[in-house]
């Protein structure tokens, strides 16, 4: 089975969230999405199917973001990331709130793999009031604080909402920034609080995450091409 060509993959900033679905449900979806070059984000499925089985299979369809959200003692995170060596994904996520030593442990576990380490900062489901209740900071201040901890420890980038991305791009110009909570104008925001359109997100982020809007479309492949071509005007996807 052939993946999308190198140019298409490198031109596509979209990450598709495949969370909450069984392997049997995902298979026809990733087959449909294979020509688009999207990055495939998996979370709970890695635990249900097993890293050693899922990563090699899913990687035949495209780049994979192993959204493990590692948050444990350093040795446990190191051991978890070691398991990714069997078929290194495009990226793995770790919680920045786990601290610098945990981020370094993820690096150690990955060894010489080229997998990016992306730090989770403040979840986009958390609004300002909740953020202040938990962290005693507003979202931007806490995201900046966590991003700096992770980047200083060797992370390649971080995940933040589209609201924080413009300011953080100025502070951390070399970081890989991924923004979830992205919907086309007029689409349901579901459980996300700090959201943006694809055009707004890509101004400052390297990649953005989409889920239900694509997966629940009557033609997921066509919806991806519509967003990338019609909304974002990316040359590789303009007909």
Instruction: Express each pLDDT in 87-124 by its tens digit.
Output: 999 999 999 999 999 999 999 999 999 999 999 999 87
The residue that leads in pLDDT, 180 or 50, is 180
Q: Is residue 55 situated within a structural domain?
A: yes
How large is the average pLDDT for residues 7-12? 94
Give percent helix, percent strand, percent coil of the chain, each to the nearest 5.
50, 15, 35
Instruction: Express each pLDDT in 168-203 by its tens digit.
Output: 999 999 999 999 989 998 666 555 555 789 999 999
67 carries an active-site annotation: yes
The residue that leads in pLDDT, 73 or 21, is 73
69 carries an active-site annotation: yes
Q: Is residue 121 situated within a structural domain?
A: yes
What SS3 state is found at 42?
strand
DSSP tag of 227: I
* Whether pLDDT at 60 is above 70: yes
Q: Is residue 33 situated within a structural domain?
A: yes
Q: How far apart are CA 6 and CA 3, in angstroms?
A: 9
- Which residue among the candidates 72, 82, 108, 148 is catalytic per the annotation? 72
| pLDDT band per the 50, 70, 90 thresholds, residue 6 | confident
Number of domains, the chain: 1
**To the nearest whole percent, how much of the chain has pLDDT over 70?**
96
The residue that leads in pLDDT, 151 or 190, is 151
- Which residue among the candidates 21, 69, 104, 116 is catalytic per the annotation? 69
Question: CATH no. for residue 99?
Answer: 3.20.20.70
Select, from the ranges 1-10, 43-52, 135-144, the one with the highest average predicted confidence (pLDDT). Answer: 135-144
The two tokens of residue 97 are: 């709130």
Q: Which domain holds residue 116?
A: 6-237
235 carries an active-site annotation: no
Whether the CB-CB separation of 225 and 198 falls below 8 Å is answered with no
This prediction's pTM: 0.92
Among 4-18, 42-56, 86-100, 141-155, the range scoring the smallest mean pLDDT is 42-56
Nearest to 117 by CA among 169, 143, 78: 78
How large is the average pLDDT for residues 125-148? 92
- Binding-site residues from annotation: 19, 41, 124, 183, 192, 211-212
- Binding-site residues from annotation for substrate: 19, 41, 124, 183, 192, 211-212
How large is the average pLDDT for residues 68-81? 97
Q: Is residue 1 situated within a structural domain?
A: no
Instruction: Report the Cα 177 to chain-centroid distance in Å.
Output: 9
Q: How far apart are CA 118 and CA 93, in angstroms?
A: 5
* Whether pLDDT at 38 is above 70: yes
Would you say the C-alpha torsion 81, 55, 48, 10 has a positive or negative sign?
Answer: positive
């Amino acid at each position: 089975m052939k993946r999308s060509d190198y140019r298409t993959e490198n031109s596509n900033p979209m990450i598709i969230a495949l969370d909450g679905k069984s392997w049997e449900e995902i298979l026809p979806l990733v087959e449909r999405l294979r020509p688009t070059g999207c990055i495939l984000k998996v979370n709970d499925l890695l635990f249900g199917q097993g890293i050693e089985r899922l990563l090699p299979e899913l990687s035949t369809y495209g780049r994979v973001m192993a959204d493990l959200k590692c948050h444990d003692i350093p040795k446990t995170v190191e051991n978890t990331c070691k398991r990714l060596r069997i078929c290194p994904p495009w990226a793995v996520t770790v919680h920045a709130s786990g601290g610098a030593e945990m981020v370094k442990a993820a690096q150690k576990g990955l060894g010489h793999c080229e997998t990016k380490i992306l730090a989770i900062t403040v979840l986009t489901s958390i609004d300002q009031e909740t953020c202040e209740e938990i962290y005693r900071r507003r979202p931007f201040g806490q995201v900046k604080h966590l991003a700096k901890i992770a980047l200083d420890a060797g992370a390649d980038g971080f995940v933040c909402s589209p609201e924080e991305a413009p300011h953080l791009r100025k502070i951390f110009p070399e970081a890989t920034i991924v923004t979830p909570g992205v919907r086309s104008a007029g689409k349901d925001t579901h459980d996300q609080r700090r959201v943006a359109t694809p055009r707004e997100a890509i101004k400052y982020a390297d990649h953005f995450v989409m889920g239900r809007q694509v997966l629940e479309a009557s033609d997921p492949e066509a919806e991806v091409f519509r967003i990338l071509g019609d909304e974002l005007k990316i040359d590789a996807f303009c007909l």
